[in-house]
A and B are shown apart, each in its own frame.
Chain A
Amino acid sequence: MKLALGPLLYYWPREATLSFYAAIADSPVDIVYLGETVCSRRHELRLPDWLEIAQVLRDAGKEVVLSSQVLVESESDLKTLRRIVQQSTDGFRVEANDMGAVRLLSHQTPRPAWVAGPTLNVFNPQTLGMLQDLGARRWVAAPEMSCAQISALRAALDTPLEVEVFAHGRLPLAYSARCFTARHFNLQKDSCGFRCLEFADGIPLNTREGEPFLTLNGIQTQSAQVHSLLGLLPEVQAAGVDILRISPQGQHTDTLLHLFRRVLDGALHPTEALASATPLLPAAPCNGFWRGDAGLTQHPALV
């Protein structure tokens, strides 16, 4: 299995972002997804900056994919989307995260190979087969899909393609026109003051009993718990998954990538790896979705 670094879901200051990706060049990751997928107001890095990082990572031997924004609303969002799609014929693969991106990619000549992102709501082989006809060569399963659902879909495809799962990180659960970070500070989205910059792992939301429940990340709502398949890697491998997506977190991403790599190399037991990883996470781990359960539950590995 290959390791992929998912797109950065948070909004970090420019220097922090640049130094994060500079270090990724030497990390044990095979694929890196780049670009802003959450909020069009975030512009510490603009497309030319992302392309510069892309070039450096490619020179370091990484496969680079440019991810498109999930919620596309304005004409200016569409303009950005078209510029990203343009890259698909100029050298970088694109991850399509809405059907507008799929349409634009399928209209490119020559038609590029692209990645069907996790927000396309692909749940059956009929839909995925159609996207394959339009150029999809890799599919990132929606995080809420279970092992059984992913295996069944994969087995039913006429033509195999690479299957990627969201293997580690706070779960991106929902998107809205509203910005919950701005709402928290009683600010309007249009004058949000870019408060997301202050929260490298988003803002924790607890129940009124003080239990961690969700994370506010601008217009995106994430889980509080950190979804991790690190302890379950043998069954993930057995399900036929080709690629594991690790979502960047504020600290220790590099250490987590190494832990995944060592388990894949057979140098570390998955249970030990999870034990080493747990103190490095911003919250407790969970893995319920993989077992077809509520996402916030944590199941032990199968013996």
Chain B
Amino acid sequence: MPAAPELVCPAGSLPALKTAIDHGADCVYLGFKDATNARNFSGLNFDEKSLHEGVAYAHRHGRKVLLALNTYPQTDNWPSWTRAVDRAAEAGMDAIILADPGLMAYARRTHPTLRLHLSVQGSATTHEAINFYHEHFGISRAVLPRVLSLAQVAQVIAQTPVEIEVFGFGGLCVMVEGRCALSAYATGESPNCQGACSPGKHVRWEQTPKGMETRLNGVLIDRFEAHERAGYPTLCKGRFEVNGASYYAIEEPTSLNTLELLPELARVGVKAIKIEGRQRSPAYVAQVTQVWRAALDQLARNPEGFRVDARWMSELNKVSEGQSHTLGAYHRPWK
């Protein structure tokens, strides 16, 4: 049985970072306050001061800090991204998480000892794709898009020297990360380039006689009746009409939760479990980190006897989108 995977937790702010460390995260990941990362939301992320304090806090507790630089620089804004790589190296990051090959080449050349992870935004779903980044940039780890079955994850791991990290919990992208321009189509801003999906400045909430309507750049994403809880209009999670039927045509508002697969993920050699949610509160981070720490510790103590504690699931469901969860692509019928 390989060692229990590392727990990689989201830190959208310094309080969230400290909370994650205090509740047992092995690593935290964070981003700068700009478009260089895929959670470019106002009020979120780190400036120099909070970054240094966060890194010091994590390192004092023997934990690691990863910096997400996982959007794609354009010709005219390239220097902002290389500067971000330099800042990360100077700040003593344990690794940077990149998607753009050109930027990886820069990082490898300029900071040869800096550890590189391939972001989920790199859309690498096979060992051939992952080994491409390994050959050219010596990446140490790759984060898999949320599209593969467990057997497929195992096949990837068997054929690459690169460590594999998978998403364990949190908001679920139903599309292959890095291969979705739905937000760009509706708003002109995308996760790939601006670091934001369905950005808040395009969102309108409007109470109408037909119910609460949520719009994204004018496009009706959903309409809620009085007894329904109105959710944020992430455009793939709205209700639409197809052939006269009105339903969640793409995906329900739900969270990924792979807790019950944890022994299998560890057995096939997954090196790290990522928790989504840099845009969520420190309270969310505390809740989720605590449950996953308990699960990973139980797995380490007694791999054969691992049982999902019902309380873990109810705690996680409380903070799940739509208060429900799914195994996503790990579960064949989801597809």
Contacts and interface: CB of A to CB of B under 8 A. Distances in A.
Contact of A152 (B74, B100, B103, B180): B74
Interface string A264-287: 000000000000000000000000
Given A152-B76, A184-B249, A207 B241 contact: yes
Contacts of A214: 182, 240
**Which of the listed residues A124, A204, A295 has the most CB atoms from chain B within 10 Å of its own CB?**
A124
Contacts of B332: 188-190
A184 B188 CA distance: 28
B74 A174 contact: no
B174 to A, nearest CB: 5
Interface string A94-106: 0000111111100
Nearest to A179: B335
A189 B335 contact: yes
Contact of A121 (B76, B175, B192): B192
Interface residues of B, number: 69
Interface stretch (A7-15, A19-27, A58-66, A125-133): A125-133
A179 B175 CA distance: 10
A216 interface: yes
Nearest to A192: B335
B72 A102 contact: no
A70 B179 contact: yes
Interface stretch (A72-80, A232-240, A245-253): A72-80
Which label, helix, strand, loop or mixed, suits the secondary structure of the A interface? mixed
A208 B239 contact: yes
A178 B179 CA distance: 14
A73 B240 contact: no
A156 B223 contact: no
Contacts of B135: 103
Contacts of A204: 242
Nearest to B239: A208
Interface string B184-199: 1111101011000000
Given A289-B184, A294-B217, A177 B147 contact: yes
Contact of B105 (A126, A144, A149, A188): A126
Contacts of B132: 99-100, 102-103
A172 to B, nearest CB: 8
Given A99-B129, A100-B128, A124-B102, A184 B242 contact: yes
A188 B249 contact: no
Contacts of A216: 242, 249
A102 B127 CA distance: 12
Which label, helix, strand, loop or mixed, suits the secondary structure of the B interface? mixed
Nearest to A75: B155
Contacts of B175: 174-176, 221
A203 B245 CA distance: 12
B73 A296 contact: no
Given A73-B125, A78-B126, A295-B184, A208 B179 contact: no
B241 A177 contact: no
Contacts of A292: 188
A157 to B, nearest CB: 10
Q: How large is the interface on A (under 10, 10 to 19, 20 to 34, 35 or more residues)?
A: 35 or more
Interface in B90-114: 99-103, 105-106
B335 A188 contact: yes
Interface string A144-170: 100001001100100000000000000
A86 interface: no
Contacts of B219: 207, 211, 213, 296
A28 interface: no
B220 interface: yes
A221 to B, nearest CB: 7
Nearest to A81: B128
B181 A103 contact: no
B255 interface: no
A173 interface: yes
A211 B221 CA distance: 11
A64 to B, nearest CB: 24
A192 to B, nearest CB: 10
Contact of A71 (B147, B217, B223): B147
Contacts of A182: 335
A216 B248 CA distance: 13
Interface string B162-179: 000000000000111011
A124 B125 contact: no
Interface string B59-77: 0000000000000111110
Contacts of A171: 181, 185
A163 to B, nearest CB: 13
26 contacts: A72-B128, A73-B147, A73-B152, A99-B101, A100-B124, A100-B132, A103-B128, A103-B132, A123-B73, A124-B72, A125-B75, A126-B102, A126-B103, A130-B105, A174-B175, A182-B335, A203-B242, A206-B242, A208-B246, A214-B182, A216-B242, A289-B184, A294-B186, A294-B217, A295-B188, A296-B186
Interface of A: 70-75, 77-78, 81, 98-104, 119, 121, 123-131, 142-144, 149, 152-153, 156, 171, 173-180, 182-184, 188-190, 203-211, 213-214, 216, 221, 223, 288-289, 292-296
Interface of B: 72-76, 78, 99-103, 105-106, 122-129, 131-133, 135-136, 146-148, 152, 155, 174-176, 178-182, 184-188, 190, 192-193, 217, 219-223, 236, 239-243, 245-246, 249-251, 329, 332-335
Given A149-B75, A208-B240, 4 more contacts: A123-B192, A188-B333, A190-B332, A205-B241
